[in-house]
Amino acid sequence: MAELPNKSLADRAYHIRRNAVLMGEVQGQGYIAQALDIADVLAVAYFHAMTYRPEDPEWEGRDRFLLSNGHYAIALYAALIEAGILPENELETYGSDDSRLPMSGMAQYTPGMEMSGGSLGIGLSIAVGKCLGLKRKGSSSRVYTLFSDGELDEGSVWEAILSAAHHKLDNLIAIVDINNMQADGPSTQMMGFEPLKEKLEAFGWFTQRIDGNDLDAVVAAFDAAKAHPGPQPRMIIADTLMGKGVPFLETRDKSHFIRVDAHEWQLALQALDAGRSA
């Protein structure tokens, strides 16, 4: 086996994907393709970029991670389990009655979940307020905010984009997942947002566009976002592949909310294992 770069991060990403597939199996369906596409970004966020204490998820000195696209909760739970913030045995409760892991992320339910997402287009506005608040407190903590390409359709996102630049929120690192799929079809066909990097640069953001499934590129982007010396808020545009890591899901007709047959969950786990040792 060839020595993989960032091997430990690749291992983290594998476990995040595995946790997500196991949760998907509980429901039999869900936002599993998104979880697979964003696993590399979450691996770098939680195991390379961010500062936090797993045993004390509300530690004041932590970096904040906001999940604006609440339906990606399955992916974040998978990362929180891998990070030791959530116990692994709660995985089997995903989306079940009385679980702390509802289908859409909610601040009141889950340790490590900083906001109630799901009403899309809200996260960046909260992030602006949190960044202003952290600066008021003299805190060096950063606010990481993940949102989806579909949310670029929402006017409120652009309000927040204007505002973050206006207020020079250099403690904000936003990541937009460009998987080119939203509820009614491919995102670029629902409401064109390209050229996105040029747009965001014109709005005053330090902007990078990367392959969000290339761990080295993701690491470099987070490092550059943290190290950038200017007062601009930072945006990472992450182009991702839905279903990444499970070939038969990567090539399946894409949809926002996919069904996976009962026997396929085991095949998905096997595909992840195969990819890990490839």
Q: Which residues bind other proteins (CB under 8 A)?
A: 106-108, 114-116, 118-119, 121-122, 124-134, 136-137, 155-156, 159-160, 162-163, 166-167
Helices (H), the chain: 7-27, 32-44, 73-82, 123-136, 155-166, 187-190, 196-202, 215-227, 247-250, 262-277
Q: Which of 89, 63, 65, 74 is nearest to 38 (CA)?
A: 74
Supply the minimum distance, in Å, between the C-beta of residue 139 and other proteins.
Answer: 8
Supply the minimum distance, in Å, between the C-beta of residue 253 and other proteins.
Answer: 32
Angle made by CA atoms 265, 266, 272, in degrees to the nearest 5: 90
**Based on CB atoms, which residue is closest to other proteins, 33 or 122?**
122
Q: Which of 15, 67, 73 is nearest to 43 (CA)?
A: 15
**Based on CB atoms, which residue is closest to other proteins, 157 or 271?**
157
**Based on CB atoms, which residue is closest to other proteins, 66 or 221?**
66
**Based on CB atoms, which residue is closest to other proteins, 14 or 147?**
147
Backbone φ, ψ for residue 206 (5° rounding)? -75, 110
Supply the minimum distance, in Å, between the C-beta of residue 229 and other proteins.
Answer: 24
Q: How far apart are the first and last CA of the chain?
A: 7
**Based on CB atoms, which residue is closest to other proteins, 140 or 266?**
140
Supply the minimum distance, in Å, between the C-beta of residue 64 and other proteins.
Answer: 9
Supply the minimum distance, in Å, between the C-beta of residue 82 and other proteins.
Answer: 25
